[in-house]
Amino acid sequence: MESQVLQEQFDQNGFVVMKAYGSAQLKDIQRAADRELSEQLKPLELEADVQYPGAPENESDSGGSTPRRLLQAFSRNKVFAQWASNSTIADTLKDLLQCKQLWLNPNHHNCLMTKLPDFSSDTLWHRDTRYWSFDTPNLINTWLALGSERAENGALMVIPGSHKVTLEPDQLDKGQFLNPYHPKNRSLLASAVSVELKAGDMLVFSANLFHAGSRNLTNKAKLSLVFTYHGEDTKPIDQSRSAALPEIVIP
């Protein structure tokens, strides 16, 4: 896809899908992901930790010990780090962010995202920026599908153009999720689409884009490698969670 077309689609919709973008490295990444999932070494986030709809209340409940995210992917596995810092991704993201220097923030996403067949929960409509602390919302996420992603196994759903929408406070609930019962949210939710991906496809989306995901209803794990980046116009706020670990410069 030409750079200008990619930029126009991203600016308009808040996301783009790059087909077979990770095909060359896919087998190595899949093998690394399978090893990491089998070992389940800390740090990780459990279904019981997220408190999403359908999630167990604590680790001792049924499904409570099921991993939702294997955290610190960049430092966890060199194969993941090589993917996240490769020059092709860096050049693409610099174009989309219109920046000269790129940083990876290790405090958000930076994970192997899982939805396992034995247990998973729903993720409500939200913007990632709802709980991040940066001086601008100009951040971008990369989501590499390690297998097929479709509605049945909890593929990501997005609301095109919602990265530019300004909301009134009561359109969000106390958790900063989109209130599905608010009259002004009906047209937003009606425009939602499911982003179906094949293994090796990469979804690139604004951290300010509303997105959600249902649970995995199949008998196979869904795995995605997810990272967050920004350019020189955006900085994490000191002493916040977003600044807890030093950012990683991507050449």
DSSP codes of every residue in 17-29? EETTTTGGGHHHH
Q: Is there a contact between 233 and 120 (Cβ–Cβ < 8 Å)?
A: no
Would you kindly state where each structural domain of the chain is located, as residue ranges?
3-250
pLDDT in tens, 103-123: 999 999 999 999 998 888 899
For the segment 38-66, the average pLDDT, to the nearest whole number, is 83
Q: Is there a contact between 159 and 188 (Cβ–Cβ < 8 Å)?
A: yes
pLDDT at 91: 96
pLDDT at 180: 93
Residue of 218, 228, 249, 234 lying closest to 108 (CA atoms): 228
For the segment 51-80, the average pLDDT, to the nearest whole number, is 86
Average pLDDT value for the chain: 94
- Taking the C-alpha atoms of residue 202 and residue 146, their distance in angstroms, rounded to an integer, is 9
Number of residues that make up the chain: 251
pLDDT in tens, 11-43: 999 999 999 999 999 999 999 999 999 999 999
DSSP codes of every residue in 145-178? ESS-B-GGGT-EEE-TTGGG----GGGB-TTS-B
Q: How far is CA 69 from CA 58, 65, 120, 237, 242, in A?
A: 16, 12, 11, 24, 18
β-pairing verdict for 222-230 and 139-145: antiparallel
**For residue 144, pLDDT beyond 80:** yes
Residue 49 burial (C-beta neighbours within 10 Å; 0-12, 13-18, 19+): middle
Please report which confidence band the pLDDT of residue 1 belongs to, taking 50, 70 and 90 as the band edges. low
**For residue 226, pLDDT beyond 90:** yes
- Taking the C-alpha atoms of residue 63 and residue 21, their distance in angstroms, rounded to an integer, is 33
Coil/strand/helix, residue 109: coil
pLDDT in tens, 80-103: 999 999 999 999 999 999 999 999
Q: Is there a contact between 111 and 76 (Cβ–Cβ < 8 Å)?
A: no
pLDDT at 2: 75
pLDDT at 178: 96
Residue of 139, 206, 125, 108 lying closest to 167 (CA atoms): 125
**pTM (predicted TM-score):** 0.95
72-81, 172-181, 189-198, 225-234, range with the lowest pLDDT: 172-181
CATH assignment of 3-250, given 2.60.120.620, 3.30.300.30, 3.40.190.10, 3.10.20.30?
Answer: 2.60.120.620
**For residue 212, pLDDT beyond 80:** yes
pLDDT at 7: 94
**For residue 51, pLDDT beyond 90:** no
pLDDT at 152: 96
